[in-house]
Amino acid sequence: MKYYAKRLLDNKKVMSTDAKEIGMLQDIQINAKTGTIMDLVVRPAEGLDTTKYQKEEENILIPFSSVSAVKDYVIVDKDKAKVYTAR
């Protein structure tokens, strides 16, 4: 797994692998014991169907395991991101 500094992830658009905008990255959730990134906290794009995402207040959680690339955007596999069960 790659490690990313939070400042490199701040305010990046989150896109699906089929080029649809999911939203804007707001924060990350980190496992305090291991230091690994667990989830992305994303403010959903207007009009995004959020019913299959785990929600945290007005944001959605996307498991970091669904991230396939981080460049100008954070690219996530939409199928892995949607099918989310609480830990």
How do the pLDDT tens digits run along the chain, 87 residues long? Answer: 455 555 666 679 999 999 999 999 998 898 999 988 899 999 999 999 998 899 999 999 999 999 998 888 999 998 888 765 544
- 48-54, long-range: CB < 8 A, 24+ apart: 48/21, 48/22, 48/23, 52/82, 52/83, 52/84, 53/81, 53/82, 53/84, 54/84, 54/85, 54/86
Pair 33, 45: CB distance under 8 Å: no
Is pTM, for the whole model, over 0.85?
no
Starting at the earlier edge strand, list the strands of the sheet with 13-16: 54-56, 59-63, 37-44, 21-30, 13-16, 74-76, 67-70
**Does CATH number 2.30.30.240 belong to domain 6-82?**
yes
- Domain segments of the chain as ranges: 6-82
